[in-house]
Amino acid sequence: MAMKIGFIGTGIMGKSMASHLMAGGHSVQIYNRSRDKAEELLARGATWFETPASLAAASDVIITIIGYPKDVEAIYLGPDGILQNAKKGCITIDMTTSSPELAKQIAVIGQERGIACLDAPVSGGDIGARDAALSIMVGGDASAYECVLPLFRLMGKTIALLGPAGAGQHTKLCNQIVIASTIMGVCEGLIYAKTAGLDPLAVLDVIGAGAAGGVQLKVQGPRMIKGDFAPGFMLEHFVKDIGLAIAEADRMGLKLPGLAQAKKLYDILMQQGHERTGYHALFELYLRKEVT
């Protein structure tokens, strides 16, 4: 059944995700801080709303994929935000990587207002969004999840309800923890190959077919070798995610030394002004021998 879907956040990934919902026959209504990033969707028939409040009031389902936890808090809990203005019976889906505790808070306030709030961060970057092949990690009410599962299937391939509110965010932080150490391993393997006088692309082909194979090696490895650091997922957002994971680990009394080292290296890149490059630009530090 076609739904009126409010979509907030039409950036690198959000634009493709909203496009898939439109192709699935749904009416997509858009709010974005920069209208120019929504123009392609508007030209294809999406409807523009001037404020999150007006969009929320006119939507059956509201999907957000924005920047930082502070943005999520403002757009959900602010006086002109989603929960103050959405209809009773509406379902909200925050696909931003954000704080598990904030996701729980939003769910509690939503429940008080008759609104089901899911946290459903994604993994797969720009390519996964473009190909409708995202991994979608969901926390929240099971009946609300079942209701919007057809929407998730338009955007992703691997979709799972992991538990109550906050579980989706915790799962995404697990994902980022694994990537953080893996991407360091890819950088170190490639810089070793280069320094040893090997053809790095040939090395990638061989080791990618063995036990070292994986998405980071196969997708980001060739980009590193070519010096293509265009963002499929921006470094500043990855650093934000690492910070969230470290904060949650500290709260649970966990020590994650690989994650701490990744944060240290990425902070150097941030200080050098690379925040809007791809997170695989970490290879630059290895090339310049600035790794400590």
Q: What residues are labeled active site?
A: 172
Q: Are strands 61-64 and 47-48 parallel, antiparallel or unpaired?
A: unpaired
Other CB atoms closer than 10 Å to residue 173's CB: what's the count? Answer: 25
**C-alpha 286: how far from chain center:** 26
Nearest to 166 by CA among 123, 106, 114, 221: 106
Under 8 Å between Cβ of 184 and 262? yes
Query: Residue 85 corresponds to which tokens in the numbers above?
Result: 């203005």
93, 145 Cβ separation under 8 angstroms: no
Helix (H) or strand (E) holding 254: none
Q: Which helix (H) or strand (E) holds 92?
A: strand 91-94
Query: 248: which 2 tokens?
Result: 């949650």
